Amino acid sequence: MINQKIIIFLLLVFLGACESFKTAGKVLRNEKISNTDEFLVQKKTPLIEPPNLNEIPVPDSIKKAEQNTKKNLGELKIQSKIKKDISDVEKAILNEIRK
């Protein structure tokens, strides 16, 4: 009686560990379960060259330097206009003094 209970208990444990009765039957018959995805090798797309491969990107420091030079040129133009205006005013004052 005790042996039968132990055998039934072990059988239930083994069957309970299986996912379904189909897998339980395979386990009891000692059949191999085939899994086709285990060693599946997927082919990848080939690498292609980007369209702007020959263009070399400009580093950020050079970009900032170019922006600073453009900014400085703009300021110099404004300052030169102010100097011209001042020189015109000075010329007008000098002309008035000379008269």
- pTM confidence score: 0.24
Q: Where are the domains of the chain?
A: 1-32, 58-99
Q: 33 near 26, Cβ under 8 Å? A: yes
Give dist(CA 31, CA 24) in Å, integer: 10
- The per-residue pLDDT for range 30-41, each reduced to its tens digit, is 777 666 666 777
Mean pLDDT highest for which of 22-26, 33-37, 83-87?
A: 22-26
Please name the residues in contact with 24: beta carbons below 8 A apart, sequence gap of 6 or more: 14, 15, 18
Q: Higher-confidence residue: 6 or 28? A: 6
Strands (E), the chain: none
Q: Higher-confidence residue: 25 or 10? A: 10
- pLDDT at 7 exceeding the cut of 80: yes
Give dist(CA 16, CA 9) in Å, integer: 10
Please name the residues in contact with 67: beta carbons below 8 A apart, sequence gap of 6 or more: none
Give dist(CA 16, CA 24) in Å, integer: 9
Supply the pLDDT for residue 84. 65
